[in-house]
Amino acid sequence: MYRYIGYTGSMTGIGMFFVVVAAVLLIVILSVILYKLLANKSIKHEKQEVLKKEEDTAIDLLRQEYAKGTINEEEYVKRKTFLSNN
């Protein structure tokens, strides 16, 4: 009796193009966000390692000064406490 002529529900032509572009943009955006997050963690970890090495070096130098006798025990404890808290 009646024949349905019109939209069949499939995506062809320009509609499919926009879906592909949107998918590619979504993948690019998610990749950039993931990269930024991972790069940030790496930088923070490197900074913490550098600070730890500097702290170890400072404490080692302090121990050497104390061992040489250039500072007394009170000054050693005071400086060590300061270095450990920072």
- DSSP characters for 13-82? THHHHHHHHHHHHHHHHHHHHHHHHHHHHHHHHHHHHHHHHHHHHHHHHHHHHHHHTSS-HHHHHHHHHH
Range 65-76 average pLDDT: 90
Compute the distance between CA of residue 78 and CA of residue 72 in angstroms, rounded to an integer.
10
Instruction: Tell me the per-residue pLDDT of 10-50, one tens digit each, with 9 for 90 and over.
Output: 566 777 888 889 999 999 999 999 998 888 777 777 777 76
Kindly state the percentage of the chain with pLDDT values over 70.
77
DSSP character for 6? S
Q: How many CA atoms lie within 13 A of 30 on its CB side?
A: 6
Residue 28 pLDDT: 96
